[in-house]
């Protein structure tokens, strides 16, 4: 009896495919779901896969998840999707999960506490077996494995993947100190960024150890929720308007550093001849700014891979729970830092722009 092919341009079910091939539906399911340990001739496997491709048949993920109680899906929470740091961490997570045969959902919350909680529950309600968060302030534990990249809060059941910020501060300040810089300006991170407090406390501690004074008048605070170099431009303008002299800037991140360099140039100062600038993260654009940015490199993609492997290990029961995983930074020296030159003269002999304007007050 001639087999009637399934109708074209219509969804085909497992039963229809089995009838067309003259095989048991269980055999087709075993082959297409790649169930191990079943002895099925290779010729039969090839015939099943060819027919499935011809009629565009896909095994039902929902049916499989109901049978196995597994969705092979991970939920990812991130503040936003347009920043170099977050996207590079996400790239490492996504690549690793893809290689492991997992799918993932991503939700961005703009640092809004209500959305962090709401989206976490929505991801779990849609079958996420675990959560990975990036630069996200969690408030409590969950009933699934959770790994927090740049997480600093000790929460039961949450593994924090963090940078060694003390070592990062040592790399940055020792570099500037070795170049002769003692008058250093600092740019603190936004209050909503998970790394802000830890990074700042580390800088304060290391500066005290090596003899660099942190002066309030040379410390500025980032406050915008921006994903462009515009982040660092207005705060540097405010610092420059004070005419307080400094020879180097430690920026909270690379985006702010690039914006600060533009503000310095617009003010008439050159980087690094007049002011050295060091960033943080080593996002891709850092190597293409003008000048190329000296920075502290976070292994962002690798941090993402570490986070992904950590949740997979917990799901598979192959690793005991770990409260924290610490990764090391690296100093990347490029063109935005140099040894300090003359104190108050630029190379062309003109008066330095930091010099305060003469006062009209005769006193």
Beta-sheet pairing, 330-332 with 294-297: antiparallel
Number of domains the chain contains: 3
Q: Say whether the peptide bond before residue 85 is cis (omega within 30 degrees of 0).
A: no
Residue 339 belongs to a domain: no
In sign, the C-alpha dihedral spanning 211, 215, 218, 220 is positive
User: What integer best gives the mean pLDDT of the chain?
Assistant: 88
The rounded distance, in Å, linking the Cα atoms of 224 and 262 is: 17
Contact (Cβ atoms closer than 8 angstroms) between residue 304 and residue 89? yes
Please indicate, yes or no, whether residues 86 and 132 belong to a single structural domain of this protein: yes
Residue 350 located in a structural domain = no
If asked whether residues 233 and 213 sit together in one domain, one would say yes
Proportion of the chain above pLDDT 90, given as a percent: 67
pLDDT, tens only, 223-248: 888 778 999 999 999 999 999 999 99
- Range of weakest confidence among 133-142, 294-303, 348-357: 348-357
Domain of residue 182, residue span: 165-298
Token output for 318: 């192959």
Is residue 312 included in any domain, yes or no? yes
Reported pTM: 0.78
Whether 194 and 287 share a structural domain: yes
Instruction: Tell me if 336 is assigned to some domain.
Output: no
pLDDT score of 68:
55
Alpha-carbon distance 58 to 66, whole Å?
16
Task: Kindly report, residue by residue over 280-304, the tens digit of the pLDDT.
Answer: 999 999 999 999 999 999 999 999 9
44-53 pLDDT per residue, tens: 999 988 988 8
Of 346 and 124, the one with more pLDDT: 124
């Amino acid at each position: 009896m001639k087999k009637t092919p399934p109708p074209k341009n219509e969804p085909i079910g497992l039963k229809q495919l089995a009838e067309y091939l003259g095989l048991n539906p269980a055999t087709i399911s075993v082959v297409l779901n790649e169930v191990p340990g079943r002895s099925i001739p290779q010729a039969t496997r090839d015939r099943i896969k060819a027919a499935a491709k011809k009629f565009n048949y896909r095994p039902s993920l929902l049916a499989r998840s109901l049978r196995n109680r597994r969705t092979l899906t991970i939920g990812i929470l991130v503040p936003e999707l347009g920043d170099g740091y977050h996207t590079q961490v996400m790239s490492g997570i996504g690549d690793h999960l893809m290689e492991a045969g997992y799918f993932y959902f991503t939700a961005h919350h703009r640092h809004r506490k209500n959305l962090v909680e709401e989206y976490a529950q929505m991801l779990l309600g849609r079958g996420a077996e675990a959560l990975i968060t990036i630069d996200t302030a969690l408030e409590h534990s969950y009933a699934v494995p959770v790994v927090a990249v740049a997480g600093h809060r000790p929460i039961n059941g949450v593994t924090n993947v963090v940078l060694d910020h003390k070592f990062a501060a040592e790399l940055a300040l020792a570099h500037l100190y070795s170049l002769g810089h003692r008058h250093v300006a600092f740019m603190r991170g936004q209050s909503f960024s998970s790394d802000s407090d830890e990074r700042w406390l580390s800088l304060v501690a290391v500066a005290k150890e090596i003899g660099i004074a942190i002066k309030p008048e040379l410390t500025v605070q980032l406050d915008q929720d921006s994903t462009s170099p515009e982040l660092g431009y207005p705060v540097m303008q405010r610092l420059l308007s004070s005419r307080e002299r400094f020879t180097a800037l430690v920026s909270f991140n690379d985006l702010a550093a690039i914006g600060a360099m533009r503000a310095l140039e617009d003010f008439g100062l050159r980087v690094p001849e007049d002011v050295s600038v060091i960033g943080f993260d080593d996002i891709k654009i850092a190597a293409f700014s003008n000048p190329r940015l000296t920075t502290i490199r976070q292994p962002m993609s690798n941090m993402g891979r570490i986070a992904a492997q950590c949740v997979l290990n917990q799901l598979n029961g192959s690793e005991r729970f770990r409260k924290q995983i610490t990764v090391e930074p690296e100093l990347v020296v490029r063109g935005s830092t140099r040894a300090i030159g003359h104190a108050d003269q630029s190379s062309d002999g003109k008066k330095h722009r930091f010099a305060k304007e003469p006062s009209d007050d005769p006193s």
